[in-house]
Amino acid sequence: MLKVENLSVYYGVIQAVKDVNFEVNEGEVVSLIGANGAGKTTILHTISGLVRPKEGIITFEGQEIQKTAPQKIVSSGLCQVPEGRHVFPGMTVMENLEMGAFLKKDREENQRNLKKVFDRFPRLEERKNQDAATLSGGEQQMLAMGRALMGTPKLLLLDEPSMGLAPIFIQEIFDIIQDIQKQGTTVLLIEQNANMALSIADRGYVLETGQIVLAGTGQELLASDEVRKAYLGG
């Protein structure tokens, strides 16, 4: 579904991503793990069209998208949940969800998607008229995920969904990610919590200083001495 080839990204003279190659197959959860500053978010922003690569090809469902406008990438079925959630303050939960369907003109489809979001996140329905900025961190993460799901994504990009959340919310969010996969949405997961990420991933990649240094199934990487020492405290 997604193929990244020889991707290099710069911020001015600083190279943030160095010749990265990976792929995501339909129906998978693929996890990209690494420390702060490893280049994970830059890769997601480049896939989403928010950052332009200096080199490399990004292919989504057979079409090159590295020069495509972000809104067209979203329309094609590739949606991102940003790091830090970034809900729209001053707007209600419902208005935030409606923004996720901004590019969708089929009202019946939007209503079906809204029902699915409320079925998956009942707390959002309970708080649909509440200012999004007043939600707890876990509820805001649910809102950010629900907002992306309103766009009917084929591939969902999740950037650090566990960041700043209490343990009870972290487990709930990862359960929801698995449920989203089971319902037919492919997931590319960027996450510092390597143990949680790899435990639900079909495959994973380890990123260090802008380069992929290890790849394998989630279970293979969990068992790797290098991953255990660097990310799991082994």
pLDDT in tens, 89-113: 999 999 999 999 888 778 898 999 9
Burial of residue 188 (number of CB atoms within 10 Å: 0-12, 13-18, 19+)? buried
| Inter-CA distances, 85 with 81, 89, 143, 160, 228, Å | 7, 11, 8, 9, 28
Q: At what angle do helices 137-149 and 167-182 cross, to 10 degrees?
A: 10
pLDDT for 232 equals: 66
Cα 91 from Cα 73, distance rounded (Å): 25
Tallying the residues shown for the chain, one arrives at 234
Its pTM stands at 0.91
Which candidate, 61, 152, 160, 139, places its Cα nearest to that of 106? 152
Least confident of 51-65, 175-189, 219-233: 219-233
CB 108 within 8 A of CB 116: no
In CATH terms, the fold of domain 2-86+152-231 is Rossmann fold (3.40.50)
Is 60 exceeded by the pLDDT of residue 81?
A: yes
What pLDDT digit, counting tens, does each position of 169-179 carry? 889 899 999 99
Look up residue 134 and give its DSSP letter.
Answer: G
What are the domain boundaries of the chain? 2-86+152-231
The helix (H) or strand (E) run that includes residue 167 is helix 167-182
Q: How confident is the model at residue 166 (pLDDT cuts 50, 70, 90)?
A: confident
